[in-house]
Chains A and B, each alone.
Chain A
Amino acid sequence: MAEIAPEAEAYIRTDGQGISSLNLAVENLHCGGCVRRIEDTLAKKDAVTSARVNLTTRRLALHWQADQARAGDLLAAVSALGYRLVPFDPDLLANEAASEDRALLRAMAVAGFAAANVMLLSVAIWAGEASGDMGLALRDLLHWISALVALPAVAYAGRPFFRSALAALRQGMMNMDLPISLAVLLAAATSLFETINHGQHAYFDASVGLLFFLLIGRYLDRRARSRARSAAEQLLLLGAVAAQVVEASGMVRALPIGAVRAGMTVRVAPGDRVPVDGVVSFGQGEVDASLISGESEPCEIKVGDWLHAGTMNLSHPLQIEVASAGDDTLLAEIVRLTAAAEQGKAAYVRLADRAARIYAPAVHLLALGGFLGWWLLGGLAWQPALLIAVAVLIITCPCALGLAVPVVQVVASGLAMRRGVLVKAGDGFERLAEVDTLVFDKTGTLTHGRPELVNGDTIPAPVLAQAAGLAAGSRHPLCQALVRAAGPVPAQLQVQEHPGMGLQLDDMRLGNRDWCAVDEASPDDGNSELWFRQPDQAPVRFAFRDQLKADAVAVIGELQEAGWRIEIVSGDRAVVVEPLARQLKISNWRADCRPDQKVAYLRDLAATGCKVAMIGDGLNDAPALAAAHASLSPVRAADVAQAAADFVFQGETLAPVAMTLALARRVRRLILQNFSLALAYNLLAVPLALAGVVTPLFAAIAMSSSSLLVTLNALRLRGGRAS
C-alpha cells in the first residue's frame, strides 16, 4: 500500500485559527468497534481537536492544530490499524441531494404535525355531528382552527408536489403529482370556502392527511435511492487517488489527478493503480490489465511500453511519462462511454409513472365529468357540484399508488441487503424482472479473477512445499496462487527476485521457462505456467488457470433450466473462454471483445427484442453494464463497473445472482398486486364519490385503509419463500 501522507496533503484545508481539516473515506470500516478504535487512536494525539467517523457514509472528518502535527503522522496511526484512508474534497460531492432529503423530511414533519392536529379537531366535528347537539358556531370555530393549521401546512409541505407538477406541465406532460397537487389545493380551497360560508363539510383533514401519506412514500423512495447513491459515491471516492509526480529535482509530490499534465513523470508503487495513460520511462515488471482488457494473466512491461490508467502495478516501482491525463485517458473514455450508455437507460419509464400516464387524465376527466354532470344535468348549484368533484379527486388520489411502489422497493432492498446484495438503482428490480437474457463476463464474474494451480495432483507434495517456500515472499499472482495451493509454508528469506524472470535461492529457481532453462515444449492450453528447477532434477511445470467460482456450474445450470438464455462475452482470448463455456454448457460465447464491441453486441441483442441483463466486473464491462437493460456486478469489481451496475453482490459465489433474479420477479408481482389493490379500491370508491355520498369521515377512512392495505401487502415480501 502506498503511504497516505503525500496524497493527503493535496486535500488539507487550514482556517484562520490554525485548525486544519481533512475529510477521508475509510475503507474496511465495518462496525461501531471500528469507529471507536479510529476515534480513540486519533483522540489520544494532542494536536487533534476533533475526529468523528460517520458509520453510515464511512467517512472520517478530522480537525487538528496545524502547527502541532503533520497529517501524515496522524493518519499513519489509523493506517496501522488496517484501515485504508482515502482523502477527498467534500465540495466535489453533490450536497444538493442531501439538502433535498432534509427538505423532504421537514415537509413530512410539518404535514404529520398538521395531519395529527386537524384529525383531532375533525374527530370532534364528526362526534358532534353524530350526536346532533353541536352548535353551528362551535362547528365553524373548529373549522376555522383546522384551516389555521392546515392551510400553512399545505402551502409548506405541498411544495415538492407542486414544483414537480409545474415542471411536468411546462413540458406539456402529466405526472402523478398533478392530480395530487390539484386534489390537495382544491380540497383546501373549497374547504376554506365552505368554512367562510358556514358549510357543513370541510376536507382539511383529507388534504393534509393525503400530503402526509404521500410524503412518507416519497421519503422512503428517496431514502432507498440516496443510500444507493452514497454507496456509489463511496466507490468513486476510493477510485480518486492522487498521483505521485516526480519533479525535475527528484522530489516526489502528490498532485490531484486533475492537476497532472502531459509530459510530467509519475511514480507508481507496487500494488497501486496507474493514474494516467503514459509510457514507462523507468522500471520493469508485471502489471495486471484485467480491468482494462479483461485479460486474466498479468503481462510483462518494460521501458517504452504503453500503460493505460487503471492498470494495477504488480511487482516493481515504475515511472511513467504522462501522455494524457484526466479527461483524455482511456479510463475517462470508458467513464464517458458508460455515462452515454446510461443516458439511454434513463428513457426507461418506471411502472408507477406508466400507471400515472393513464391514471392522471382519467381522474381529471372523472372529476370534471362529475362537476359538469351534477351542475348542468343534476340540477345542483355550482358549489356542491364542485365539492363532489373535489371528493372524486381526494378519493381517487393515489395515496395507495404513491406507497405501492416505494414500500415494496424499500422492503425488497432491505431483504437484498441482508443477503449481501446492494440495490443501487431505484427501478433496478423492475427492469431486472423483465429480463430474458443473461450475458456474463468471464474474468472475475464466472471465475475468481485470479489464477489457481490446476495440476497440483500430479506434483509430489515435498516439491510443491519447496516451491511454495520460494514463492511465499513474492507478490506475483502466480506465486501467491502457488502458496495458496500448498497451504502454510515458512517463507525463505534469502530469496532473490529478478523482475520479469523469476526467483532464486541458492541453486533453486522458480520462474518462467527461460529463467529455468527449459527446452521442453509446453502445450498451449491457455494455462499460465511457472517452472521450478532444483539442481540435478527435471524441471517441474506448475500450470495455473483462472478457475470457475465454486457454484458456477450449478447456478448456470439452474438458470438455464429455468428458461434464461445465457451467453458469455469476454475480453479474454478464445483459447481461455472456449473450454470454460464448454464446462458451463453455454453454447453462445464471444471472446476478444473490446468495451465498445461489448456494447455493440448488447445493442444487437436488444434490437432482436431481447431484454438483456449484463453481469460483469471489469472496467471494460462498465459501458456494457450501463447499456444493458439491467446489470449486476460483484463487490470486488472495478469502481466504475460498480458505479454503473444496478446491483452489487457480495461473496465469491454466483448464488446471489440467481437470488436477485428471483427476488426481482417477486417484487414486480407485488408491485402489480398493489396496483390492482389500488385499482379495486378506486372502482369501489369512485362511484360513491360521484354519487355525492363521500363525507370527510368516509374519505379519511378510505384513504388510510387503502394505504395500510398496500403497505401490509408489501411486507409479505419479508415472509414468503427464501428463493
Chain B
Amino acid sequence: MTALLVLIPAALFLGLLGLAAFLWALRSGQFDDLDGAAERILYDDDETECGPNADPRR
C-alpha cells in the first residue's frame, strides 16, 4: 500500500498540471478567436516574396 503514497500525489500533480495549462491558455487569449485559429493553420508564416525558399509558382 505504500505505493499509494507516491501514486496519489503523482496523480494529483498531473491533474493540477493540466488544470494550470488550461488556465494559462485561457489567460493568454488562446480561446479568444477559435474560428480564426482554425483557419490560420492553413497559411504559412514564412511567406517571403523572394529568397532561396520562395515558392516558384508565386
Contact = CB atoms under 8 A, between A and B. Distances in A.
Interface SS of chain A: helix, strand, loop or mixed? helix
A82 interface: no
Nearest to B8: A145
B41 to A, nearest CB: 9
B3 interface: no
A145 B39 CA distance: 44
A141 B35 CA distance: 46
Interface stretch (A52-60, A197-205, A701-709): A52-60
Q: Which of B15, B18, B38 has the most CB of A within 10 A?
A: B15
B15 A113 contact: yes
Contact of B40 (A32, A105, A116, A145): A32
Interface in A2-59: 31-33, 35-36, 40, 53-57
Nearest to B25: A109
Contact of B43 (A36, A117, A120): A36
A35 B15 contact: no
B16 A55 contact: no
Contacts of A121: 8
B54 interface: no
Given A117-B11, A145-B8, A35 B26 contact: no
A54 B32 contact: yes
Contact of B15 (A32, A40, A56, A117): A117
B39 A54 contact: no
Contacts of A235: none
Q: Interface centre among A33, A35, A121, by most B CB within 10 Å?
A: A35
A149 B12 contact: yes
B36 A32 contact: yes
A106 B20 CA distance: 10
Interface residues of A, number: 25
A306 to B, nearest CB: 44
Interface string B21-58: 01100100001111110111011000100000000000
Contacts of B22: 109
Contacts of A105: 26, 31
A109 B31 CA distance: 14
A40 B36 CA distance: 15
B6 interface: no
Contacts of B39: 31-33, 35, 55
B1 A53 contact: no
B1 A116 contact: no
Contact of A109 (B19, B35, B43): B19
Interface string A101-124: 010011001100100110011000
Nearest to B38: A32
A680 interface: no
Contact of B1 (A54, A57, A102, A138): A138
A138 B7 CA distance: 14
Contacts of A138: 1, 4
Contacts of B47: 40
Contacts of B38: 32
Contacts of B11: 117, 120
Interface string A53-69: 11111000000000000
B22 to A, nearest CB: 5
A333 to B, nearest CB: 37
A145 B34 CA distance: 37
A56 B35 contact: yes
Contact of A106 (B8, B26, B34, B35): B26
Given A31-B39, A32-B40, A57 B33 contact: yes
Given A32-B42, A36-B43, A113-B16, A106 B36 contact: no
A510 to B, nearest CB: 47
A113 B47 CA distance: 41
Contacts of A116: 15
Interface in A125-161: 138, 141, 145, 149
Contacts of A35: 36, 39-40
A31 B38 CA distance: 10
Contacts of B40: 32, 35-36
A36 B31 CA distance: 19
A138 B3 CA distance: 12
A53 B12 contact: no
Contacts of A102: 26
Given A31-B39, A32-B42, A106-B26, A117 B12 contact: yes
Interface of A: 31-33, 35-36, 40, 53-57, 102, 105-106, 109-110, 113, 116-117, 120-121, 138, 141, 145, 149
19 contacts: A32-B39, A32-B42, A54-B32, A55-B35, A55-B39, A56-B33, A56-B34, A105-B26, A106-B23, A109-B22, A113-B15, A113-B16, A113-B19, A117-B11, A117-B12, A117-B15, A120-B11, A138-B4, A141-B4
Given A55-B33, A55-B39, 8 more contacts: A32-B40, A33-B39, A36-B40, A36-B43, A56-B32, A113-B18, A113-B19, A141-B4
Interface of B: 1, 4, 8, 11-12, 15-16, 18-19, 22-23, 26, 31-36, 38-40, 42-43, 47
3 nearest CB pairs, A to B: A32-B39, A55-B36, A113-B19
